[in-house]
Structure formats: structure tokens, C-alpha cells
Amino acid sequence: MSEYRPAGALATPAAERGHAAAYSSAHSRPTANPQCIRQKAFAMTNTVFKPIVYLLHGCPFCMKVRVFLLEARLLDQVDIRLVEQGSKEKCQITEKLAAHLPKVGFPTVELTPGQYMTESDEIIAWFAKGAAIDIATLPTFQDCVGGIFKDHISLYRENMRLQQQAV
């Protein structure tokens, strides 16, 4: 069973950190340079902005982004906001995003303050480019996208269709 984390919590549970540590010791691929991810320093406040990744629990597109960030060892470079369907946090985040996006969806990433991206493939490509990572070198991500993701998205779409019919 997946652990629920409130929207404000950073989603780096011990299991994910442990997997990343096991992966790095078992494979020779160098870790991503933490400075590669585009973090914007604000001169007036001297703060560093970490991209904020908004994920919906159970969404296959969100899982795809999360698996990429995990295997690419970029979880510490982002602030993940994982929300449950129907939760108060989801409503609050949806309202916040609606002020900046024509259509709110998950996953969404706030790259820099006020700059958003919503498509999972574009999000993955942006992070991969910023960290100089070739996604073809990520075997777990490739297995996920080429296998279980296809099944999961089919079931997810069927579930969404059935929910809409029930309304």
C-alpha cells in the first residue's frame, strides 16, 4: 500500500531513497550533477527555487514522472506535492493552478515562479535535458513506460469513463 503524504510534504520516503541508493551502488551510471537542474536564485531574497511537481496519487502520468525522477536521482532537486483524489489539498492546488493554466491537470510542474508545464513527456524531457540524462539509459523507467504504464493507462481511462457514466 502506498504511503499518503500531505501536499506540503516532500515525497522522498525511505523506500525510494533506499532504492535510489541501491541503484547507484549496483550501476555505474554517474549521478546527475545537482547544479544541472535549473534552479533560479532570487537576488532580493537569496533563496533558491526548487521546481514544484504536483502529482495526483494513482494517476499513471504522475507515476511515470515520479519513476523518472526517482531513477534519474532528481528527487532531491524538486519539491513534490502528492495529493489524493477528492482531498482538500487537491482542491486547494487545483484552485492555485487554475489562476495560471487554461486547463488544470496532473502532473504539473512549476519550473520557476509563475512558469508551468503540464504534459508528462514534456516534464520528463525538461528535467532530462537540464540534468544531461538520456532517458534511454534508465532501464526501470523504460520498463515502466514500455510495459506496465500501457496497462495502467488503459485501466485508468476505463475507470475515469465509468466514473463519468455514473454521474
150 Rama class: left (phi>0) / alpha (psi -120 to 50) / beta? alpha
The vertex-106 CA angle with 2 and 140, nearest 5°, equals 55
Residue 140 has pLDDT above 70, yes or no: yes
Residue 125 has pLDDT above 90, yes or no: yes
Residue 110 has pLDDT above 60, yes or no: yes
Cα(34)–Cα(129) distance, integer angstroms: 13
Please compute the mean of the pLDDT values over residues 8-21 and round it to a whole number: 38
114 Rama class: left (phi>0) / alpha (psi -120 to 50) / beta? left
Residue 123 has pLDDT above 80, yes or no: yes
CB 77 within 8 A of CB 50: yes
Domains in the chain (CATH in brackets) are: 14-166 (3.40.30.10)
6 Rama class: left (phi>0) / alpha (psi -120 to 50) / beta? beta
Residue 48 has pLDDT above 90, yes or no: no
Pairing mode of beta strands 79-83, 52-56: parallel
pLDDT at position 58, please? Answer: 86
Per DSSP, helices labelled H in 36-148 are 60-71, 88-98, 120-130, 139-143
pLDDT at position 46, please? Answer: 59
pLDDT at position 107, please? Answer: 96
Per-residue pLDDT reduced to its tens digit, 141-156: 988 888 877 777 778 7
Cα 25 from chain centroid? 24
